[in-house]
Amino acid sequence: MMAGDLPLDVSRETLAKLEIYVEMLRKWNVAINLVAKSTLEDLWQRHIVDSAQLAEHFGDVTGTWLDLGSGGGLPGLVLAIIAQGQGRDLHFHLVESDLRKATFLRQVAQRLELPVTVSAVRIESLAPQNADVISARALAPLKVLCSHAARHMAADGFAIFPKGSHAAAEIDEARAIWDFTVETYPSLTNADAEVIKVKNIRHV
């Protein structure tokens, strides 16, 4: 893996931390299904680069980045590593109900000294977070994600979700329930996929 493979410039220290994270992910994946075993051969492109592309949306945001259904730390841990390397004033709150996966997330955060808090709870039982940014990857349809985001997002915050080839259909389905502002961006890892950025979420 070379830094040039990432969708943005990162320091050697950041790349080194990403490599340690990948090493831990591979090790733990033997016992815990953090990512599908069929994706391990292409782990960097399928998971690391796919998560890292969301860092293009850091902008000047500060405060709390809430990552829902963090699983193996995608995109939460990847973004925390990149944000730390850029000296950003961002704290990452990772929510993962599976206790074993939550333990993995804490172990990585501790080893890499990341600005990360892990909550091993179901999203539905999480107190409102007033987060500046919310992310989720391969968690739920947009209509469900809008429900989570409406509860946990600050009034001037935004949510960002990588989505597959059915992104447009998910947006249409969500609009039957929710009113929101949406921007879409082409995925850097899949020509058929998109990244959806959502703001101003309100019930219809």
pLDDT digits (tens, 9 = 90+) for 51-60: 999 999 999 9
Distance CA 66, CA 63 (A): 10
What was the pLDDT predicted at 39? 85
**Residues annotated as binding site for S-adenosyl-L-methionine?**
69, 74, 123-124, 137
Report which residue type is found at 59. G
What was the pLDDT predicted at 7? 66
Residue 9 has pLDDT above 90, yes or no: no
Residue 2 has pLDDT above 50, yes or no: no
Give the residue, 170 or 45, on which the prediction is more confident: 170
What distance, in Å, lies between the first and last C-alpha atoms of the chain? 46
8 A C-beta contact, residue 134 and residue 79: no
Q: Which domains, from first to last, does the chain contain?
A: 8-203 (3.40.50.150)
Go through 170-195 and write b for each residue having 16 or more CB atoms within 10 A of its CB, e for each that does not. bbeebeeebebebeeeebbbeeebbb
8 A C-beta contact, residue 203 and residue 178: yes
Peptide bond into 186 cis (omega under 30): no
- Provide mean pLDDT across the span 122-140: 96
Residue 87 has pLDDT above 80, yes or no: yes
- Provide mean pLDDT across the span 132-143: 96
What was the pLDDT predicted at 197? 98
What would the DSSP string read from start to end of 170-202?
Answer: HHHHHHTTEEEEEEEEE-SS-TT-EEEEEEEEE
Residue 3 has pLDDT above 50, yes or no: no
**Residues annotated as binding site?**
69, 74, 123-124, 137
- Provide mean pLDDT across the span 28-51: 91
User: Which helix (H) or strand (E) covers residue 8, if one does?
Assistant: none
Residue 129 has pLDDT above 90, yes or no: yes
Distance of alpha carbon 158 from its chain centroid, rounded? 13
Residue 5's pLDDT band, with cuts at 50, 70 and 90, is low
At 147-184, the pLDDT tens digits run 999 999 999 999 999 999 999 999 999 999 999 999 99
What was the pLDDT predicted at 177? 96
Residue 1's pLDDT band, with cuts at 50, 70 and 90, is very low
Q: What percent of the chain has pLDDT over 70?
A: 97
8 A C-beta contact, residue 158 and residue 186: no
